[in-house]
Structure formats: structure tokens, C-alpha cells
């Protein structure tokens, strides 16, 4: 089965705290792609990162970092020094064939309070 | 570069009525997707087009939903007749295999449908 699980439904932090959003995926395929999207209150899905299954290097982009571990089928997302503007729903997604559909997790609603 | 355009942004109808949504993808994007996002859930694919052909419609409720992309550019999604459980946001996305953003799906703002 192809599946993405985001066990954390809601997370609330105070500004400047670090926060990690968990993502666990299931797939039988050896080649696949993992994504994170942000959905602010306006509703539009904003692409954050794509990772293919052959690239296990962790990535950092400003305050955002991603930890991909094939051994545990996880692709976690950390926001360092969170800000109020980071408040949104974050989705992890799996694509198991190039150009195919995205399979989304349930999403994690992050609330950053001042 | 213009993004994915969708209209209308909001629609309220009564059950058993029909409704249609329109999507214009990013220029040059051959692949177009329609997703349904029910409140509190992640988006779920309804149908995927490659140019004007259907690639995947396995999760489209074909007894009431239909979609077309006649000229391989813009697309319409129709529901007839609508049920209460169709209340959701309908998201259109497009992608291209070319360039640095290969296979990244760009999403439109969505159409929020409320069925009363």
C-alpha cells in the first residue's frame, strides 16, 4: 500500500521555539519522491521541498531543515526559531511514479503564538 | 509566470443541483490534476490528465463527477447531482517534467464548495 502518516494533528509552540513535524511513509517502490507542502489560511498549497528516494542527504534552507531516513521510512521537517508566519497546515506527500499523483498525509496544523 | 487559475473561488448550492469548476494551468504544463480536499484531511486525487487524455481517474465517482480537458489546456470538473458529502475544496494543479521544477505540482487557490 502507498500511504503517508502524519501522526501529529495539531502542534502549538511559542515563537522562537524549534518544532519538528513527523512524516512516515509506506511504499513498495524503490524509486519514489517525497514532498512537503505548506497550506496557510488562504488555502493555497505552497511547495517547500522535493526529495527523491536515492538522495538521503539532509537539506537546510534558512530556518527549515529536512531529515530523510529510508531505514525508518521517515521524512521529518524541522522549523528552527519558529515565527508567527509559520502558522499553517503542513502536508507531507508521496509520489511513487514520476508525474503521477501525490498521496498526502492528514496534515499537521502548526500554531505559533507570539 | 502566471500561476494556476481557478474559478469560482466559492460556490454554495443545494443538494441535487449541478456545479462546474474551471481551471487554467500554468502555460506549457501538459499534466493537470484535480484534487478534492475535505475539511481536516489531505487532498485526494480525483483525476489526472496528460494533455487531453485521462491518465488516472480511479478515484473519481463517475456516477456523478465528470471532467474534461478538450484542447489540452484548461479543464472543467462537473458534479451532477451534488450530495452533502461533496462539500470540500477542489484544487487544481499542473506540472511539467521539464526544468528544475520537474514533476513539482503547482496548485491553484481552490474552489470551496458548500452543499446544503
Asked if A99 and B31 come within 8 Å (Cβ–Cβ), the reply is yes
Which pLDDT value is given to residue B97?
73
CA distances from A40 to A69, A77, A79, A109 (A): 27, 16, 15, 10
A99 close to B105: Cβ distance less than 8 angstroms: no
Q: Is the pLDDT of residue A56 over 90?
A: no
Distance CA A102, CA B40 (A): 17
A51 close to A59: Cβ distance less than 8 angstroms: yes
User: How many interface pairs between A and B have CB atoms less than 8 angstroms apart?
Assistant: 55
Strand partners of residue A19: A79
Asked if A95 and B97 come within 8 Å (Cβ–Cβ), the reply is no
Average pLDDT over residues B13-42: 96
Which pLDDT value is given to residue B98?
67
Average pLDDT over residues B71-98: 93
- What the block records as the C-alpha cell of A79 is 522549523
Question: Which residues in chain B are contacts of A50 at CB distance < 8 A?
Answer: 103-104
Residues of A with CB under 8 A from a CB of B: 4, 33, 35, 37, 42-47, 50, 91, 93, 95, 98-102, 104-107
Q: Hey, what long-range contacts does B6-12 have (CB within 8 A, 24 or more apart)?
A: B6/B90, B6/B91, B6/B92, B6/B108, B6/B109, B6/B110, B6/B111, B7/B111, B8/B111, B9/B109, B9/B110, B9/B111, B9/B112, B10/B111, B10/B112, B10/B114, B11/B111, B11/B112, B11/B113, B11/B114, B12/B113, B12/B114, B12/B116
Q: How far is B16 from chain A (nearest CA, A)?
A: 27
Asked if A93 and B109 come within 8 Å (Cβ–Cβ), the reply is no
A10-14, A43-47, B14-18, B83-87: which has the minimum mean pLDDT?
A43-47
Q: E strand or H helix at B91, and its extent?
A: strand B88-95
Q: How far is B101 from chain A (nearest CA, A)?
A: 9
Q: Is the pLDDT of residue B72 over 90?
A: no
Asked if B42 and A106 come within 8 Å (Cβ–Cβ), the reply is yes
Asked if A44 and B41 come within 8 Å (Cβ–Cβ), the reply is no
Asked if A93 and B107 come within 8 Å (Cβ–Cβ), the reply is no
Average pLDDT over residues A93-108: 91
Which pLDDT value is given to residue B102?
57
Q: Furthest-apart CA pair in chain A: how many Å?
A: 43
Which of B40, B97, B107 lies nearest to residue A44, judging by beta carbons?
Answer: B107
Which of A47, A101, A107 lies nearest to residue B45, judging by beta carbons?
Answer: A101
Which pLDDT value is given to residue B99?
57
Which of A43, A47, A106 lies nearest to residue B110, judging by beta carbons?
Answer: A43
A62-66, B27-31, B80-84: which has the minimum mean pLDDT?
B27-31
Amino acid at each position: 500500500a502507498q500511504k503517508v502518516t502524519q501522526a501529529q494533528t495539531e502542534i502549538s509552540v511559542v515563537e522562537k521555539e524549534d518544532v519538528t513535524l513527523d512524516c512516515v511513509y509506506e511504499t513498495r517502490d524503490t524509486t519514489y519522491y517525497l514532498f512537503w507542502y505548506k497550506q496557510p489560511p488562504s488555502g493555497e498549497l505552497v511547495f517547500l521541498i522535493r526529495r527523491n528516494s536515492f538522495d538521503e542527504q539532509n537539506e537546510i534552507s534558512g530556518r527549515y531543515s529536512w531529515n530523510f531516513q529510508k531505514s525508518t521510512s521517515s521524512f521529518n521537517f524541522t522549523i528552527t526559531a519558529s515565527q508567527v508566519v509559520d502558522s499553517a497546515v503542513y502536508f507531507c506527500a508521496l509520489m511513487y511514479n514520476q508525474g503521477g499523483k501525490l498521496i498526502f498525509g492528514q496534515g499537521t496544523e502548526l500554531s505559533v503564538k507570539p | 509566470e502566471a500561476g494556476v487559475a481557478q474559478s469560482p473561488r466559492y460556490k454554495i448550492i443545494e443538494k441535487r443541483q449541478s456545479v462546474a469548476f474551471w481551471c487554467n494551468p500554468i502555460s506549457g504544463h501538459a499534466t493537470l490534476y484535480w484534487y478534492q480536499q475535505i475539511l481536516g484531511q489531505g487532498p485526494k486525487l480525483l483525476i489526472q490528465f496528460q494533455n487531453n487524455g485521462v491518465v488516472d481517474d480511479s478515484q473519481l465517482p463517475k456516477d456523478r463527477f465528470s471532467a474534461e480537458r478538450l484542447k489540452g489546456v484548461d479543464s472543467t470538473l462537473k458534479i451532477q447531482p451534488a450530495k452533502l458529502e461533496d462539500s470540500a475544496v477542489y484544487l487544481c494543479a499542473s506540472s511539467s517534467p521539464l526544468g528544475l521544477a520537474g514533476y513539482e505540482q503547482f496548485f491553484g487557490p481552490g474552489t470551496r464548495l458548500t452543499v446544503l
